[in-house]
Amino acid sequence: MNPIQTKAKAAGVNLDRLPVHIGMIMDGNGRFAKAQGFARLWGHHKGYKTLRTALLDCSDLGIRYLTVYAFSSENWRRSDDEVAGLMQLIEKSTRDEVPTMMRNNVRLKVAGRLKELPASLQEAFQFAVETTAANTGITFTLAVNYGGRAEIVDAVRDLIKSGVPADEVDEACLSRKMYLPEVPDPDMILRTAGEMRWSNFLIYQAAYAELVVTDTTWPEFKQEDLFAGVIEYQSRLRKFGGVTG
């Protein structure tokens, strides 16, 4: 066991029953900033540092897939300054973190309507995805300009363009048209800042995911919160619509 796994086991995590794929809704950056007397963008920068740590913690713990809600398709409604700042932050962090991802065997993927993003951000994503493509550790997906409903619409459009007859459309067929069909469905969705909503995140894939909510805001999220979330997940009886006992 590595040091993270040793700490997790001591905290009560069953290392033999880890979720394969965790989705994270990183909520509360703005509220955290406001509580500290700073602008919302300051909170997003703090949240980026939290994400960097959380990714490496998940990797060391043994999580195989981590998908995070970095920028939703609804986030365009925010102020021009905040949106521009977020685009710059995502681009800079993507470029800056490539060496870290290479050192830690992290493979990056990106999901969303990427063609609507600034050209320089698209280029940063392409570089990072291609550079890390051969890595075999945790698969880290950034959901950017992402919406669960939009993903379903895009999948249906793709089916129609492909000429698939209506009577041949089933769940397996639709799943193959999602943004990242090779990534397994999430076992657990972890949301910070106490909100009890999916917020249009992986709504097709997360049909049977366990929702775990923590009251702490995302910039305050710590390793202990990750462990507590996994322990809560492991306490659930997952029946997938069936009956046990």
Q: Yes or no: say if 66 and 19 are a contact pair by the CB < 8 Å rule.
A: no
Which residue from 141, 80, 132, 137 is spatially nearest to 112, judged by alpha carbons?
141
Q: For residue 39, how far is the Cα from the chain centroid?
A: 24
3-class state of residue 231 by DSSP: helix
> Of 16, 29, 75, 104, which one is the catalytic site residue?
75
Residue 4, both tokens: 């993270």
Half-sphere exposure in the Cβ direction for 125 (13 Å, CA)? 23
The yes-or-no answer on residue 27 being catalytic is yes
- CA 96/CA 87 separation, integer angstroms: 14
What crossing angle do the helices spanning 40-61 and 3-11 adopt, rounded to 10°? 90
> Of 2, 14, 16, 27, which one is the catalytic site residue?
27
Residue 99, both tokens: 């060496």
The yes-or-no answer on residue 16 being catalytic is no
Cβ neighbours of residue 130 closer than 8 Å, sequence gap 6 or more: none
Task: Catalogue the active-site residues.
Answer: 27, 75
